[in-house]
Amino acid sequence: MKQRNRTMFRPNRKLLSCALASCLAMAAPHVMAQSTSATLRGVVTADSTVTVTNVDTGLTRTTKAANGNYNIGGLPPGTYRIEVNSGGQTSSRAVTLAVGQTATLNLQDAPPVSAPTGDATTLDTVRVTAPLLVETKTSELATYVTQKQIDALPQGNRNFLAFAELAPGVQFQTGTDGSTKLRAGAQSANGINVYIDGVGQKNYVLQGGVSGQDSTRGNPFPQSAIGEYKVITQNYKAEFDQVSSAAIVATTRSGTNEFEGNFFWDRTSTDWRKATEFEERSGSKAESKDEQYGVSFGGPIIRDTAHFFVAYEAKEISSPRTIIPGRGYTYDELPAAIQEQIGSGLFSAPFKEDLYFGKIDWLFGENHYFELTAKYREEAEVTSLGDQNLPSYATDKVNDETRVDLRYQLTSGNWLNDAHLTYEDTSWGPRPRTSGLGYILSDITDTDPSDGVNWRDSIIRTGAGPDYQNKGQEGYGFQNDLTFTGWTGHTLKMGVKYKRVEVSAQEQSPYNPAFYYDINGSLTQPIHVVFGSPVAGVGDGSAKSRNNQFGIYLQDDWEVNDKLILNFGVRWDYEESPTYLDYVTPADVAASLRSSTAINNPNSGVNVEEYISNGSDRKADKNNWAPRLGFSYDLNADQRHVIYGGAGRSYDRNLFDWLQLEVTKASYTTVDFAFAPSCTTPGVGNCLAWNPAYFDPAVLATLASTSGTGREVFMLNDEVRTPYSDQFSIGMRNALGSWHTDVTLSRVVSKDGFAFLLGNRRPDGSFFPPGSTWDPKPWGQGFPGFGNLILGTNGIETRANSLLLKVEKPYTASSGWGVTFAYTYTDAEENRQSGEVFSLDKPTIADYGWKKAGGVADHRLVASGIYDAPWGITLSGKLILASQAPRYATNCLDAPDFNNCFFDQYEPDGTLGFKQFDLAASKEWDTGSDIKLRVRADVLNVFNWVNYAGYDDWFGGPGSPNANFGTPNSQFLPTRTFKLSFGLSW
């Protein structure tokens, strides 16, 4: 067994578990979501009683001062009336608290501000003008996104996560297919987690970080149901789990004591957008449409006691897709039948999404509070259309999600407890759009042999597509967080979480047989066929695992004095995945591997015993101890100049989509045969004489059992570890009047990322022949009786050093304007291209070497502004500028021959790699009744700046430059686009 040495320190697990369990058992009756609720604390006159009341819902909390200090937690974000009763005298003031904020307000520093003292419903004027307290005394790297910014800033897709890039170091990325994802620093989107009302939305199966966000144009949550959120890029406390990158902490909207509602509709279309550069070249524009509409409303069930809120949003999109033949071919060089299918080369890909959300809250007295929330998401779209894929080869995909959260909160003196019972059910299912046979036109005389399998270099794909999958997660969870503030100067938090989730995957790819044809040969007789086949008596390409997840943490925020706050925390997470842990390597596979002289050669670098499992030798990773340390030092004890910093470790998780391949590939295999004359000896190996009967899938199925090299085998290391990141930062915040600045130096190192390697070896154990470092790779040289060997293990790493600068003048109704600036300088590197889980070009990850992190620009600026113009018009804008980011490319130009090409990087021409400026203007009219009319216009990409998405990344052959190297071949949307919105509120 390998020795693991990754832990900064290793407290006694049994001792910590017992201590936390005892505390939770003694204080089980107290509740509020620790990550989303706000805390108000500070100094007050001794023996005072402090009462805070939410002016919208009537929620009330009361505490007695202890040693001249007060601390009230569990406060939903919103506006509060604060009453201080001391010596029979009562004073009052009003403040606004943000999501997850720990705000300091000293109530004896200055005479309290006068405020109405009646019921909460009489405080309309206070609700408008109550100041938002600014949190400065925290070690977190956090940026708050307010409801005003969500409502006012220009936006094209109503994805609330789009505003996360107002935080330095965060990118909201939109792919050429319209799919969206968040990325922070050099880490992939998989490290992100979003916590809604304190509950993580982690995707345990697929990529994207958040459930449902793998390759989708849809939104994870109805934006009209989001109240506000904050983005924590580093130094999150121990309560946050299953995250190694940025954490998004959001709170949903609740009903209030007043009945309120809102309707919206917005739209863009073909005529309202500028043609892409590639559409202009073709002389025509693909039909497109983006229509979004929805309604939300809420109000009291019982005034000051119970409320409801519901929201519905829909999205209908038709996005342009352009056919771009591969290998540099043009339309007129393709066969006539293919040209007829392509037409103008412009098509539209439809998408439809429905999002539902409902919430009921119920307050019993001051101490007992219940919430029940539910979300349902339903999507259908067409994907894999465009580039080399014609419409018949595209994929129909469904993406559904249900989440339910029952929450009970209890406060009692110095104790605050938060409990959640959760249920989740997600499903993701691509299907071929058509059935039958795939027709793939390729170029067997390829002048770029760098990939070693020329017949796969497709020019055009048509006919039936290959993608058939069913993947998802379903299960229940319980989490409980407890806070104790009775120890003067300390805020102690502790919690436990348990989830029982069934993760599942079915992969039958290729689902339809794909026949390859040589464009320089016969267009009716194929040169190759690739098809999938279930392995008799083994399975159908599916896997299920009932995973148990357990987490426990302890956190202490210690106010040493009025200047210094120290944060100490540690959490431990553990997960059992039976599909991986209990897997037994088939006896024939194990025997063959052990008999392979090539793979067992000392030169191979492969120890097959590390991958062969007997069903009991694999153990779950128990070393996931994550210490979190932080501090803040208020130089003058007035919250105006604060130095802060921290260090910590945070664990993510391995996706089931990778772990399941060991099972599914063993039960559903990919088989390929070549047909003479493209192969030389029919009947030997996988070479066959052509027979038209092979067009019958049933006949092909009979060939699967005769394929000695068709069964590809995936094997996982017996000690797969959990990926994690170590984070370090130091910075300073300054409050200069109404302006706030924040400058931070940051370093994030992530390790143990998952990767698949090619385990094939030549007879002497080598990966490459003598004198070669690139080709030929040992494809087809598997082990006796089987095909290629793919090995799954850890090894991907990233390192990022960043300078993060934030300048903000928050919007207030009294000033009528607000601006934000977020600048990031990043020096990042990685030992494998981000997103490239399959690392099959080199024998080990170390052989790839360190390179600049692909897709991460050195310089990035995001600025936003909101202004209340005359005549009741609100203007807003958002600007994004980023320098060119490094791209990966294959360099054979500077190699002595095609056998010694190498991965290289370059930056496309131009100072800026991305630039976009958006504007919005809105106005609301009072109709004279209780209904208000709202009209808004957004202009996205005002200057129609072209942002290229893809380039020709082929340097060229040895001594023969590619004339098109670095030439753009695809473009990000939007082009200049006008969007009109109409709304009603009451």
Distance (Å, whole) CA 906 – CA 896: 20
Least confident of 18-27, 81-90, 303-312, 455-464: 18-27
Q: Which amino acid is at 107?
A: L
Which domains does the chain carry? 30-129 (2.60.40.10), 141-252 (2.170.130.10), 260-461+500-985 (2.40.170.20)
Query: Could you tell me the sign of the dihedral formed by the alpha carbons of 683, 689, 691, 697, in that order?
Result: positive
pLDDT, averaged across the chain: 89
Distance (Å, whole) CA 13 – CA 364: 37
> Please, are residues 309 and 259 in contact by the beta-carbon 8 Å criterion?
no
> Please, are residues 271 and 288 in contact by the beta-carbon 8 Å criterion?
no
Distance (Å, whole) CA 204 – CA 549: 11
Q: Read off the tokens for 233.
A: 């890029």
> Please, are residues 386 and 265 in contact by the beta-carbon 8 Å criterion?
no
Verify cis geometry, omega within 30 degrees of 0, for the bond prior to 692: no
Q: What is the pLDDT of residues 661-675, one digit of tens each?
A: 999 888 888 888 889
Q: Report which secondary-structure segment, H or E, holds 21.
A: helix 13-26
Query: Which CA distances in Å does 86 have to 51, 89, 104, 340, 588?
Result: 12, 5, 20, 85, 81
Q: Report which secondary-structure segment, H or E, holds 630.
A: strand 625-634
Distance (Å, whole) CA 449 – CA 496: 55
What is the total residue count of the chain?
A: 986
Q: Read off the tokens for 652.
A: 């993510």
Highest mean pLDDT range out of 343-352, 525-534, 666-675, 936-945?
A: 936-945
pLDDT at 30 over 60: no
> Which pLDDT value is given to residue 824?
98
Distance (Å, whole) CA 155 – CA 794: 39
pLDDT tier, 8 (very low <50, low <70, confident <90, very high otherwise): very low
Q: How far from the centroid of its chain's Cα atoms is residue 299's Cα?
A: 33
Q: What is the pLDDT of residues 249-274, one digit of tens each?
A: 999 999 999 999 999 999 999 999 99
Q: Read off the tokens for 344.
A: 């103008």
Average pLDDT over residues 924-939: 92
pLDDT at 14 over 80: no
* 3-state secondary structure (DSSP) of residue 341: helix
Vertex 472 angle, CA 470 and 477, to 5° = 160
pLDDT tier, 109 (very low <50, low <70, confident <90, very high otherwise): low
Average pLDDT over residues 88-106: 85
Q: Report which secondary-structure segment, H or E, holds 657.
A: helix 656-659
Average pLDDT over residues 51-71: 87
Place of tokens 């004489």: 689
CA diameter of the chain: 102
Q: Report which secondary-structure segment, H or E, holds 960.
A: strand 960-961
- Could you tell me which of 487, 463, 437, 379 has the C-alpha nearest to residue 23? 487
CB proximity list for 902: less than 8 A, separation 6 or greater: 773, 774, 890, 891, 895
Distance (Å, whole) CA 40 – CA 135: 10
Distance (Å, whole) CA 205 – CA 641: 44
Distance (Å, whole) CA 514 – CA 122: 70
Average pLDDT over residues 363-370: 89
pLDDT at 29 over 80: no
pLDDT tier, 61 (very low <50, low <70, confident <90, very high otherwise): confident
- Could you tell me which of 744, 736, 556, 558 has the C-alpha nearest to residue 643? 744
Distance (Å, whole) CA 939 – CA 156: 9
Q: Read off the tokens for 738.
A: 């109404």
pLDDT at 242 over 80: yes
> Please, are residues 782 and 709 in contact by the beta-carbon 8 Å criterion?
yes
Average pLDDT over residues 3-18: 41
Distance (Å, whole) CA 481 – CA 654: 25
Query: Which CA distances in Å does 178 have to 38, 378, 385, 465?
Result: 35, 17, 12, 21
| C-alpha atoms less than 13 angstroms from C-alpha of 69 in its C-beta half-sphere | 16
Burial of 666 (0-12, 13-18, 19+ CB in 10 A): buried
Average pLDDT over residues 914-919: 97
> Which pLDDT value is given to residue 4?
40
* 3-state secondary structure (DSSP) of residue 695: helix
Distance (Å, whole) CA 311 – CA 295: 6
pLDDT at 931 over 70: yes
pLDDT at 10 over 50: no
Q: What is the pLDDT of residues 843-852, one digit of tens each?
A: 999 999 999 9
pLDDT at 18 over 80: no
Average pLDDT over residues 510-529: 93
Q: Read off the tokens for 968.
A: 């753009």
> Please, are residues 465 and 395 in contact by the beta-carbon 8 Å criterion?
yes
> Which pLDDT value is given to residue 135?
83
> Which pLDDT value is given to residue 73?
85
> Which pLDDT value is given to residue 701?
85
Distance (Å, whole) CA 441 – CA 461: 6
> Which pLDDT value is given to residue 246?
95
- How are beta strands 668-675 and 641-651 bridged, if at all? unpaired
Query: Which CA distances in Å does 308 have to 361, 373, 890?
Result: 6, 10, 57
> Please, are residues 321 and 285 in contact by the beta-carbon 8 Å criterion?
no
Q: What is the pLDDT of residues 896-906, one digit of tens each?
A: 999 999 999 99
CB neighbour burial string for 276-296, b if at least 16 within 10 angstroms, e if fewer: bebbeebeebbebbbebbbbb
